[in-house]
Amino acid sequence: MTPEQQQQLVASAREVRANAYAPASKFLVGAALLTDDGRVFVGCNVENASYGLTICAERAAVCAAVAAGARRVVAVAVVTGLADPARPCGACRQVLSEFGPDMQVVLAGTGESELTTTLAKLLPDAFSFDALEP
């Protein structure tokens, strides 16, 4: 991922964060994915009164990408309203690994700092369909 692509991803995640629906937690999250063909897909968290039906921004972005035919993600940016960047939850890490176990992860908050890491560092030894083969 180029520095320009990283800037675009973070900007896209910041922009879509404003659309998040979080009446219970007030914790707005935006995510932007970069696919292997250069497309960017965004998602925001959507809470539900039945808390288990809430969807995180990262998984919403994955759903948008898959609906458009994407199958490989090379990077994701996640932006929250915290001063220090927050990490994706475990469910999001697992779903992201399905589409890019070695993807770059850029985490940003309201401050100037950004944390860049990899999904493999956030989710070592991820479960995959390979584990289901006899």
Residues forming the active site? 58
Would you call 121 helix, strand, or coil by DSSP? helix
Parallel, antiparallel, or unpaired: how do β-strands 114-118 and 104-108 relate?
antiparallel
47 bridge partner residues? none
Burial 62-85 (b: 16+ CB within 10 A, else e): bebbeeeebeebbbbbbbbeeeeb
- For 59, the token pair is 């998984």
